[in-house]
Amino acid sequence: MRELELKYGCNPNQKPARLFMPQGELPVEVLNGRPGYINFMDALNSWQLVKALKKATGLPAAASFKHVSPAGAALGLPLSETDRQVFFTGDGPLSPLACAYARARGADRLCSYGDWAALSDVCDADTARLLVPEVSDGVIAPGYTPEALELLRAKRKGNYNVVAIDPDYEPAKEETRLIYGIGFQQGYNDAAITGELLENIVTENRELPESAKRDLLLSLITLKYTQSNSVCYAKDGQTIGVGAGQQSRIHCTRLAGNKADTWWLRRHPKVLGLPFLPDVRRPDRDNAIDNYLLLEECSAVLADGAWQRLFTARPEALTAQERADWLKKLRDVSLGSDAFFPFGDNVERAVRSGVAYIAQPGGSIRDDNVIDTCNKYSIVMAFTGLRLFHH
């Protein structure tokens, strides 16, 4: 099949819309549902990300995409009991691929609402069981086991979007697009992201452990498929904060850092112990937790009468001091940037969210200032020499 008709484009007024190949057959097959224009943009971008992660690390990988940027991306490392609680996985069996998706979705559960999921490996039943209860638009993978496909086809009253992609498909060396009726052409971005990019360490501290190398590669590969400007924080084989599509580098760093802080605060004993009513849906729990962690919103969540709709008992508020003390425990975070840091203020903000390792292209006229700021905090920084803009 060379062409697939879509319901409409980015918006309902943008018709007709289609997916097509100028030459050859489409490398994708719709196994269930009717994916739309944006669905396929998310699917194809997220597939490139997880394919690259699997190639770079050898581990199963997953991504949770929203509006052509990842809300989260992760590798298939085992989950701790705290991870299981925070990610709502239950106590059932979890394959490495299921662990990868739990981590990707758990990176930013608020932004993953209505996500598109991407899986580097054949979707198994464990992973499908994680997808079923989540609010999600669809999934792309190189294949599905019969049990997984049966589970997914029953989701959303039988309308859940399930797409298979040929894992051996390689795009043309040049890519073309139209904007305002005018054609653009450029070479496909096939730049390989490997450990060699992390060899040019420019700081006094040069000790880069293997776990940090893995997380830096994860952050850089994630940035390759994130709308620019972008900065990505990563820890323990998963992204914990992605700041996508900002015009200012410091705004990227702040946005992603705030998300990393939220990821860590969700592990605070008070948050883990919130006494939710059993019938409170996952999206409502995520919203309640997010508001509970915002000091200015916490009082509204716990106001007389309001808490009764969510909790079996009125929870104790998380104080500003408790919040600050808990955030000080966040350490050994890795950070990637898709372009150079123009000022040391990015490092100053990053260190507040536990960043100890940084990878960025370098090349600013203020590189010396950025390096000095890293040295101030004993941060290890590598200049990759590779810009990763994506639009």
> For this structure, is 66 an active site residue?
yes
**pLDDT by 10s per residue, the chain, length 391:** 789 999 899 999 999 999 999 888 999 999 999 999 999 999 999 999 999 999 999 999 999 999 999 999 999 999 999 999 999 999 989 999 999 999 999 999 999 999 999 999 999 999 999 999 999 999 999 999 999 999 999 999 999 999 999 999 999 999 999 999 999 999 999 999 999 999 999 999 999 999 999 999 999 999 999 999 999 999 999 999 999 999 999 999 999 999 999 999 999 999 999 999 999 999 999 999 999 998 778 888 888 788 889 999 999 989 999 999 999 999 999 999 999 999 899 999 999 999 999 999 999 999 999 999 999 999 999 999 999 999 9
Among the candidates 165, 185, 206, a domain finishes at: 165
In a domain, 391, yes or no: no
Tell me the per-residue pLDDT of 317-342, one tens digit each, with 9 for 90 and over.
899 999 999 999 999 999 999 999 99
In a domain, 390, yes or no: no
Q: Specify whether 275 is located in the same domain as 225.
A: no
Q: Specify whether 198 is located in the same domain as 115.
A: no
In a domain, 343, yes or no: yes
Instruction: Give residue 193's Cα distance to chain centre.
Output: 17
In a domain, 153, yes or no: yes
Tell me the per-residue pLDDT of 142-195, one tens digit each, with 9 for 90 and over.
999 999 999 999 999 999 999 999 999 999 999 999 999 999 999 999 999 999
- Report the pLDDT value the prediction gives residue 21, as an integer from 0 to 100: 92
Q: Specify whether 39 is located in the same domain as 54.
A: yes
- Report the pLDDT value the prediction gives residue 305, as an integer from 0 to 100: 80
Q: Specify whether 334 is located in the same domain as 188.
A: yes
| Residue count (the chain) | 391
| The one catalytic residue among 229, 235, 259, 346 | 229
Q: Specify whether 135 is located in the same domain as 252.
A: no
Q: Specify whether 179 is located in the same domain as 110.
A: no
Q: Specify whether 135 is located in the same domain as 237.
A: no
How many structural domains compose the chain?
Answer: 3
In this structure, what are the phi and psi dihedrals at residue 257, rounded to the nearest 5 degrees? -65, -40
In a domain, 20, yes or no: yes
Among the candidates 147, 165, 183, a domain finishes at: 165
The CATH number of whichever domain residue 28 belongs to comes to: 3.40.140.20
Q: Specify whether 48 is located in the same domain as 178.
A: no
| The one catalytic residue among 66, 155, 235, 268 | 66
Instruction: Give residue 290's Cα distance to chain centre.
Output: 17
Q: Specify whether 49 is located in the same domain as 132.
A: yes
Q: Specify whether 217 is located in the same domain as 360.
A: yes
In a domain, 226, yes or no: yes
Q: Specify whether 184 is located in the same domain as 313.
A: no
| The one catalytic residue among 157, 173, 328, 391 | 391
> For this structure, is 391 an active site residue?
yes
3-state SS of the chain is CCEEEECCCCCCCCCCEEEECCCCCCCEEEEECCCCHHHHHHHHHHHHHHHHHHHHHCCCEEEEEECCEEEEEEECCCCCHHHHHHHCCCCCCCCHHHHHHHHHHHCCCCCCCCEEEEECCCECHHHHHHHCCCCEEEEEECCECHHHHHHHHCHHHHCCEEEEECCCCCCCCEEEEEECCEEEEEECCCCCCCHHHHCCECCCCCCCCHHHHHHHHHHHHHHHCCCCCEEEEEECCEEEEEEECCCCHHHHHHHHHHHHHHHHHCCCHHHHCCCECCCCCHHHHHHHHHHHHCHHHHHHHCCCCCHHHCECCCCCCCCHHHHHHHHCCCCCEEEEECCCCCCCHHHHHHHCCCEEEEEECCCCCCHHHHHHHHHHCCCEEEECCCCCCCC
Among the candidates 120, 139, 165, a domain finishes at: 165
In a domain, 283, yes or no: yes
In a domain, 15, yes or no: yes
Task: Supply the range of the domain harboring residue 93.
Answer: 3-165
- Report the pLDDT value the prediction gives residue 132, as an integer from 0 to 100: 97
Q: Specify whether 103 is located in the same domain as 231.
A: no
Whether residue 49 contacts residue 70, with contact meaning beta carbons closer than 8 Å, is answered with yes
Question: What is the DSSP pairing of strand 355-360 with strand 333-337?
Answer: parallel
